[in-house]
Structure 1
Amino acid sequence: MHRRIALQELIQKHIRQRDLLGLVERIASLLVTGCANDRQLKALFNYLMIQHGHTPRFTTFIRDVVGHVPHTKERLMTLIERIRAADRRKGERQGRQLGLEEGLAEGLEKGLEKGQHVAALRIARQMLADGLDCETVQRFTGLTAEELQDVSH
């Protein structure tokens, strides 16, 4: 049991440490002895990606781990690629959601403007029908002289 949680214990012990490069040899030894499964490695890489993202330090860390344990290179790279793909999908979803929200807000704003304009035209039509002069109607509705001419015809 202890062997299976050794990687988690190591990371939790050093979680406040900004630079985990000093742990490469210990992490590599855990990989060599089979003390870390894919789920634990994925959790480790997720944590590191949150802490360091796609910075050169993260790349250096991965390169160093692979250098110490070459036979795990494919396994590690597959895990990292899956994490990055999941991050990309998450980013795409967030981008689509943001675009949708912005599009809805813009559409709502344009719709409100259009509705206000239609209302102003209707009010102007009624004011003109009631005998108010064009200058007064224009002042109250905010319509242009050209728009008032279109309304009166």
Structure 2
Amino acid sequence: MLKYSLAAMQRHLDVHKKLPLVIPVLFYAGKRTPYPFSMNWLEAFDDPEMATALYCQDFPLVDITRVPDNEILQHRRVALMEFLLKNVIRRDLMELTDTLTELLVRQLESGYTTEQTLLAAINYAVRDGDTDDYHRFINTLAQRLPQQKDNIMTVAQRLREEGLEKGLEKGIIIGEQRGIEKGRQEGKLEGRLEVARQMLANGMDRNVVMQIAGLSEDDMKNIRH
């Protein structure tokens, strides 16, 4: 009944901003009488008391925007993803280069970050972040992380190719810059899925990952394991 109620609410939310009151009513005409089962869905859990405490009050919140950067940097395996998720859409990318490069060096040396994760992180920052010169941001990272220069410049090359391709398709003279912008927008979901995949791989709770990465249940189904 809860499933059908939520489905009705979702259909309503597709065209409205507020949730409707959906009243679930079970019509029973079975052989056993009176109706022999509980009508409280929380009693379907092994621990109804804990389920009631969890689902009948405000949900747990992980508000990464309120966590100081210096505290985030101590979070080991998830520090990189938390730092990017908090800051990429709130600050100019060039303001992040000092802390980001320091964090990347530390993560790579400790083994918390692989080259694949490094590429995903930079790709996410460029696609979701904002700065006046994305190539300057990438070049700065490459200079400060010389051992990863080839990997970082791979991102730069991809941006150039996307920019040229999108520009040619639209017949825009300044197609490179505009194409890069379009590529960034189209890659937002891809970047967030990769972020979520890494957090799940590091043992973070699925629901917490959904909240932090801003993903829906359908989005989570597209994560490649």
The bucket for the TM-score relative to the shorter chain is 0.3 to 0.5
Q: Which structure shows the bigger proportion of residues in helix conformation?
A: 1
The TM-score, its normalising length taken from structure 1, stands at 0.46
Q: Work out which structure has the larger RCO, using CA pairs closer than 8 Å and 6 or more positions apart in sequence.
A: 1
